[in-house]
């Protein structure tokens, strides 16, 4: 299946500013959840620079890093939004993910003065409180080029942020595991206790009853 199948269907229907949206960081014990939104130009010829782009999880770190500037140059617009660990604890990870997605879309529209006329969302849950029509795509990051581009931007932005947080909160290994629940991360939490970047409502951080 072409990674442009979904986009082509919408372009043919006259929707030329379709935003693909994806997130990174739902599962970690620490750090924010980050979402990105990307609007790609219509037509395969204009997207040749993105040949080989797919789900960020299927790419190496070097491949993802190389694609970031290419995506940014090729896209008509892109935006990133996040929700911090305290916000995740306050409203839960699902609602925080939706919040980060809405923020990514607002960033996209505000920075590039483009109003998207549709949204392709990775997964099976629609983003609440959106005016633009939206379509959910299960495993969309491997089926839609727009969503794949968003997945790479979200992943790379979050990884870079976790590396910076490692310098501010040493000892946890954020630069290595990016906040995910590795054995070394769990051991660091036991040894040092959680920091303000930890999600206190998550098992593995939350004190045992």
| Number of CB atoms found within 10 A of residue 208's CB | 4
Decide the pairing of beta strands 33-39 and 134-137. Answer: unpaired
Digits of tens for pLDDT over the chain (209 positions)?
479 999 999 999 999 999 999 999 999 999 999 999 999 999 888 899 999 999 898 999 999 999 999 999 999 999 999 999 999 999 999 999 999 999 999 999 999 999 999 999 999 999 999 999 999 999 999 999 999 999 999 999 999 999 999 999 999 999 999 999 999 999 999 999 999 999 999 998 987 64
Residue 37 half-sphere exposure toward CB, CA atoms < 13 A: 33
Alpha-carbon span 115 to 164, nearest angstrom: 32
pTM of the model: 0.96
Q: Which CATH class is domain 5-155?
A: alpha beta
Domain range annotation of the chain: 5-155
Alpha-carbon span 28 to 89, nearest angstrom: 13
| Number of CB atoms found within 10 A of residue 134's CB | 18
């Amino acid at each position: 299946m072409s990674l442009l199948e979904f986009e082509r269907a919408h372009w043919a229907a006259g929707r030329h500013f379709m935003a693909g949206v994806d997130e990174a960081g739902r599962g970690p014990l620490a750090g924010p959840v980050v979402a990105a939104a990307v609007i790609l130009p219509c037509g395969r010829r204009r997207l040749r620079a993105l040949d080989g782009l797919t789900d960020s999880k299927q790419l190496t770190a070097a491949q993802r890093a190389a694609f970031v500037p290419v995506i940014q140059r090729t896209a008509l617009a892109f935006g990133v939004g996040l929700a911090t660990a305290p916000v995740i604890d306050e409203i839960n990870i699902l609602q925080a993910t939706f919040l980060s997605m809405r923020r990514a879309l607002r960033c996209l529209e505000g920075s590039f003065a483009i109003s998207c006329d549709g949204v392709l969302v990775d997964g099976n849950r629609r983003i609440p409180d959106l005016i633009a029509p939206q379509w959910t795509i299960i495993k969309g990051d491997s089926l839609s080029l727009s969503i794949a581009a968003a997945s790479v931007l979200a992943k790379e932005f979050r990884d870079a942020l976790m590396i910076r947080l490692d310098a501010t909160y040493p000892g946890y290994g954020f630069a290595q595991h990016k906040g995910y629940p590795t054995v070394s991360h769990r051991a660091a939490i036991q040894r040092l206790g959680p920091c303000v970047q930890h999600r206190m409502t998550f098992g593995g951080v939350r004190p045992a009853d």
